[in-house]
Amino acid sequence: MDAIITQVQSLASNANEAGRKEVIGTLRNLQYAVETPNDTLNRFAGLNLQIAGARIGVDLGIFSALHESKQPLSVEALARKNGAAPELLDSPRLTSEGRNLRYLASVGQIKETSKDHFSSSSITATLADDNYQGGIHHFFDTVGPSIQELPDFLAATNYQNITESTKTPFNRAFDTELPAFVWFPSQPERFAHFQKVMTVQRAGAPIFISTFQFKKELGNFQGKPVFVDVGGGFGNQAMAVLEAFPELSGKLILQDLPQTLEHVPAIDGIQVMAHNFFEPQVVKVMIYLKELRCRTNIISGAKFYYLRNILHDWPDEKSVVILKNIISAMEPDSRILIDDKVLPNEKVHWQATQEDLTMMATLGSKERTVEQLRVLMDSAGLEVLDIVQYTTSLNDSIIVAVPK
């Protein structure tokens, strides 16, 4: 068994991202194949508990303490660090803290080195990171209740498809008539957790400029700005473009809601602009005509209007509005770049199907197939020029679109 483990680890470490995902998928399928019915039932029984245990570990600072320590820590030492009640330290019995530590070790989130002593595992460093901790909070506190509501919601609606952003399991779970992204800003703590996980959601995975021929598509475009990151959050994608093409400094714009942008530090070379993508796009190129000796402006559209994981957050009707608001600002050489999953019609990867049902339960939206995407583009008055896939398992792709 040790030899097999070593061989698998070597295979994964020497593979590219697609190969590594294939190794993980093969191991996952192997686990399912060798499970007994009782094994399967026990695996299901613990699914909710794994993220609940992680949430407790985050709240108690367990992962951070173990990650920072060079030596294993005892239950007592960890209890002192997180301010546990004194009786937890005095009792010779296994405390609630000790029981949680034992559980976290059993599912690989930390490592048990000896009786009542624990250290960091390969996963602990991830769970000690503030942004990934935001993910634990987001998926437990906000996504979790929505998923719990999903079975009863579907039963109550006679298992109809969920297509409205205000009639979802999320709305029932949180007793609100607002779409999730309208409700979020009124929940600053939840919103902060969401923004944190968005910064690392695809950490380590390829990004669109790894495959998309950005400079070729840019051509000899001389306008300013070149790239408008619509609803771009913390600006990770805009920063990636700037890093790859530093000559575009000053020609990139990051747009999002004010409550998001207030958490974004100043980024050299990128203009930060408050904008709601449900309103007409305002970015135009302003050219000063010196020969007229006056401040006369010729207005024309930017080259690229980029939407990263925006349309999968909204049902078709809302997505059409978002796209039409951009069309109104475009010129003949402008392009809309839609960075989203484009699912195959069969054998979709489990991560993509997981995200699809999460979108349905929380937002009334979906991950779209090629056919669904083309129907959406046609409804918005857009023509798809190209679809460039840049990840294998999740089918992340760049859709290049222009007005018909």
The 10s digit of each residue's pLDDT in 141-181 is: 999 999 999 999 999 999 999 999 999 999 999 999 999 98
Better-predicted residue by pLDDT, 8 or 397: 397
> What is the tens place of the pLDDT at every residue in 219-232?
888 777 899 999 99
pLDDT at residue 263, as a whole number: 79
Q: What local confidence, expressed as pLDDT, does residue 292 receive?
A: 41
* Global model pTM greater than 0.95: no
- pLDDT bin (cut points 50, 70, 90) of residue 331 is confident
Residue 312 appears among annotated catalytic residues: yes
Instruction: Quote the pLDDT of residue 147.
Output: 97
Count of Cβ atoms closer than 10 Å to residue 40 Cβ? 12
What the block records as the tokens of 244 is: 């790859």
What pLDDT, on a 0 to 100 scale, did the predictor assign at position 397? 95
Catalytic, out of 193, 275, 312, 349? 312
How many other C-beta atoms are found inside a 10 Å radius of the C-beta of residue 75?
Answer: 22
Average pLDDT, the chain: 88
Q: What is the pLDDT of residue 95?
A: 59
Output 98 or 373, whichever has higher pLDDT: 373
Higher pLDDT, 260 or 401: 401
Whether pLDDT at 20 is above 80: yes
On whether the CB atoms of residues 399 and 340 are closer than 8 A, the answer is yes
Which of the pair, 5 or 202, is modelled with greater confidence? Answer: 5
Over the stretch 102-128, which tens digit does the pLDDT of each residue have?
A: 999 999 999 999 988 999 999 999 999
Q: Is the confidence at residue 297, as pLDDT, over 50?
A: no
| Comparison of pLDDT for 393 and 318, the residue scoring more | 318
pLDDT of residue 45: 94
Q: Six-digit token pair at 165?
A: 């952003």
pLDDT, position 286: 42
% pLDDT > 90, the chain? 64
Q: Which residue would you say has higher pLDDT here, 301 or 250? A: 250
- Would you state the pLDDT for residue 77? 86
Lowest mean pLDDT among 213-227, 308-322, 348-362: 213-227
Q: Say if residue 276's pLDDT is above 70.
A: yes
Does the pLDDT at position 288 exceed 80? no
Give all domains of the chain, ordered by start, each with its CATH number.
2-128 (1.10.10.10), 131-200 (no CATH), 208-403 (3.40.50.150)
One DSSP character per residue, 231-253 reads T-TT-HHHHHHHHH-GGGTTSEE
pLDDT class of 300 with cuts at 50, 70, 90: low
Report residue 295's pLDDT band, with 50, 70 and 90 as the boundaries. very low
Pick from 82-86, 254-258, 397-401: least confident: 82-86
pLDDT at 293: 44
**Structure tokens belonging to residue 192:** 């902060």
Per-residue pLDDT of 68-104, as tens digits, reads 998 999 888 888 776 654 344 344 445 566 788 999 9
Instruction: Determine contact, residues 187/259, Cβ cutoff 8 Å.
Output: no
Question: What confidence score (pLDDT) does residue 267 get?
Answer: 87
**Bridge partners for 386 per DSSP:** 400
In angstroms, rounded to a whole number, what is the distance separating the alpha carbons of residues 247 and 266? 19
Neighbouring CB atoms inside 10 A of 84's CB total 17
Residue 287 clears pLDDT 50, i.e. is over it:
no
At a CB cut-off of 8 Å and minimum separation 6, what does 280 contact? 325, 328, 329
